[in-house]
Structure 1
């Protein structure tokens, strides 16, 4: 074979290999985001966290064997709690709060949970959307509202941030069943 042809073939193969290597990287060029103006949406709804009965919406899935804490320090719960328009048990359901929470305090006077919840809307204007909460929830602060952080969302609340003010509407201290009012301020695009 002619030396020129061999050199040309080698150069072409090396060029193709270099181009293929560039195209298989795990990232692409960073582009300026074309975000619309930020919106703020305020939502008010109720979350029903029911630990008792034949069909609870939250159950303990793990607990520490080393503590005798009155607040269940170290207990981990999973939840699939209904979200409703009003505080009544038969109020119109608009979604569900699914996630987990863990008792993160030893002292009853400082009772705190750390929670992750995806608050999904299954009916109405925000059907198919959700807000994600991942935050410390100082439950013992009964006198006022507690604040937890919104760290994301889906659907109409994609890239959400904000906060939720939580107030206990009612609680049964024997069963742990609670109805909580959620006032959410959601910033999104």
Structure 2
């Protein structure tokens, strides 16, 4: 009986080593771990929202009638194609792009409704996406947004993104936002 138990334990240890050794490694900006029938992935990257300059990544596509074009307040709608990098430096390694819409949704204060697809281009996440849709109170230094789905590696994802403004220029409206995203998704 003891030999059977030792043989079984050795088999379990050996097969778990084989599975872990052969599984693809996460890039340095993300960590994926298995929990039962689910994976938990934590990603850390920086979102570069460039409103003005040589190569803007955001453009105004709609504005309320009679609104001042210089103001991006309630009713303004913008389209984004923002780079996601591993550090706050825009020239650091590109890990993906955030593409979609956001708009002024509050008559008082500055609150956006964001619907963005975060498409990744690095490591085992290449070709996979996460969808973040929710209210973003951009004047708060830290805010939480829901992850409502995903594709590829993140198919069936659910979770949350914690966004923290790293840099915001009051003249150009350009911003760098750090994202820490936690998602749960099936194997």
TM-score for both structures, normalised by structure 2: 0.76
**Contact 2:81 2:100 (C-alpha < 8 Å) held by counterparts:** yes
Q: Give the length in aligned residue pairs.
A: 150
**Residue 147 of structure 1 pairs with residue 148 of structure 2:** no
**Contact 2:83 2:97 (C-alpha < 8 Å) held by counterparts:** yes
Q: Deviations over 1:91-148 (max 9, x none)?
A: 11011000000011233xx310000000010122211111001111111212xx1000
CA–CA separation in structure 2 for the residues paired with 1:185 and 1:177: 26
**Contact 1:115 1:136 (C-alpha < 8 Å) held by counterparts:** yes
Q: Gaps spanning 5+ residues in structure 2: where?
A: 1-35
Listed as ranges, the matches of 1:25-174 within 5 Å are 37-67=37-67, 71-107=72-108, 110-142=109-141, 145-174=142-171
CA–CA separation in structure 1 for the residues paired with 2:90 and 2:153: 27
**Contact 1:130 1:153 (C-alpha < 8 Å) held by counterparts:** yes
More strand per residue: 1 or 2?
2
Cα shift at 1:67: 4.5
CA–CA separation in structure 1 for the residues paired with 2:54 and 2:42: 34
**Contact 2:73 2:110 (C-alpha < 8 Å) held by counterparts:** no
Counterpart of 1:16 in structure 2 is none
Cα shift at 1:40: 0.9
Structure number with bigger Rg = 1
**Contact 1:83 1:93 (C-alpha < 8 Å) held by counterparts:** yes
Q: Gaps spanning 5+ residues in structure 1: where?
A: 1-35
Cα shift at 1:54: 2.6
Counterpart of 2:184 in structure 1 is 187
Q: CA RMSD in A?
A: 1.5
Which is worse superposed, 66-75 or 53-62? 66-75
Cα shift at 1:39: 1.3
